């Protein structure tokens, strides 16, 4: 099988800007991956080609790249599939991160954000699952006093976020990072949820307080791209949504994002539907300056007939809707 690779090349010592170069390969086996092709190019055609790789088994997270416009692991992407789909293989480095050379990007900003969420447990002083039996023999024998034993079903609360291999594909695809480089990003926030959900965590509220600050969970625009590109089905956006719910349950509702969610739910609970006349008032009240700022827009909407009646009767079936809210509060 003949395959054409178009690869972005950039050497900061000789190039002013990145450029694309084409390579044509004879691929012996349809099971060869894009990473196999890159190694073949490096060995047979262009020894200067630079990229990262390690395990070749989609475990280490070393080889994420933008392949035919989408973030993928090169070791997990078959050449034959890409040829059948696109006719050739275009490979570029991850977005959002500075290119060091060719397909290698600077990962320090990525790791600094992971480090910012304190990626380790801060155990409770009184652990919830401490086995109190005495040791049988040896220093590390099972049953030793102080051993933390958690039920098997606790793992389900992580919703697979602990499967993250920190490859950075989700960060490359993130729309929020395009406009807010300080955003912690989907990988770091998914990792943060893993510790918030852990029953052994002793500083859960402190974590949530940090995550609700600027550049935290409320910066996510829910574009879903991080979910689409994740090679391990971690679903970072869903983890961010769960963090938002936990923050609201903890009473951390000062952020406009949290105010929007709580106002939306309160209006629907009261009327059975969203009242677009009440919603902006609930967001800005009692801040008079913000109220005056949105007043001209409200008047224009009123003139155009875009504002529903401020006072309207609840919809038919409102009791059933309120019952749903009651059930949610009972089983959350």
What domains lie within the chain, and their CATH numbers? 2-105 (3.10.20.30), 108-249 (1.10.1060.10), 256-331 (no CATH)
pLDDT at position 230 is 97
Handedness of CA 37, 38, 43, 46 (dihedral sign): positive
Question: What pLDDT digit, counting tens, does each position of 143-153 carry?
Answer: 444 666 777 77
The pLDDT of 211-222, averaged and rounded, is 95
The tokens for 239 are 């983890």
Question: What pLDDT digit, counting tens, does each position of 94-148 carry?
Answer: 999 999 999 999 999 999 999 999 999 988 765 544 454 444 444 444 444 466 6
pLDDT at position 274 is 85
Ranked by mean pLDDT, the top range of 55-59, 156-160, 255-259, 290-294 is 55-59
The pLDDT of 293-318, averaged and rounded, is 81
pLDDT at position 132 is 47
The pLDDT of 290-299, averaged and rounded, is 85
Q: Are 230 and 168 in contact (CB under 8 A)?
A: no
Q: What is the pTM of this model?
A: 0.85
The pLDDT of 25-44, averaged and rounded, is 94
Closest-CA residue to 248 (of 261, 233, 230, 265): 261
């Amino acid at each position: 099988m003949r395959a054409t690779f178009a690869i972005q090349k950039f050497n900061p010592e000789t190039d002013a800007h990145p450029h694309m170069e084409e390579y044509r390969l004879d691929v012996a086996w349809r099971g060869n991956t894009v990473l196999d092709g890159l190694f073949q190019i490096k060995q047979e055609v262009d020894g200067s080609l630079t990229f990262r790789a390690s395990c070749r088994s989609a475990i280490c997270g070393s080889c994420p790249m933008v392949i035919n416009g989408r973030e993928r692991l090169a070791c997990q992407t078959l050449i034959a599939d890409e040829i059948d789909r696109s006719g050739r293989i275009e490979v570029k480095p991850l977005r959002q991160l500075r290119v060091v050379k060719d397909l290698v990007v600077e990962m320090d900003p990525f790791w600094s954000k992971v480090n910012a969420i304190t990626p380790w447990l801060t155990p409770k002083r009184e652990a919830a699952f401490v086995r109190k039996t005495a040791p049988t023999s040896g220093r590390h024998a099972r049953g030793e006093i102080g051993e933390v034993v958690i039920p098997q079903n606790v793992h389900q609360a992580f919703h697979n976020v602990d499967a993250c291999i920190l490859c950075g594909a989700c960060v490359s695809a993130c729309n929020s990072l395009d406009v807010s480089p300080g955003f912690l990003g989907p990988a770091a926030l998914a990792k943060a949820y893993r510790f918030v959900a852990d029953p052994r965590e002793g500083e859960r509220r402190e974590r949530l307080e940090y995550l609700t600050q600027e550049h935290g969970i409320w910066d996510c625009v829910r574009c879903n791209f991080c979910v689409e590109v994740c090679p391990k089905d971690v679903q970072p956006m869903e983890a961010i949504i769960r963090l938002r719910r936990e923050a609201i349950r903890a009473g951390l509702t000062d952020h406009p994002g949290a105010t929007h969610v709580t106002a939306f739910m309160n209006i629907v609970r009261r009327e059975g539907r969203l009242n677009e006349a009440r919603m902006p008032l609930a967001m800005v009240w009692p801040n008079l300056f913000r109220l005056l700022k949105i007043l001209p827009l409200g008047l224009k909407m009123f003139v155009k007939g875009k504002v529903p009646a401020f006072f309207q009767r609840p919809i038919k079936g409102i009791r059933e809707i309120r019952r749903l809210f009651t059930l949610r509060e009972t089983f959350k």
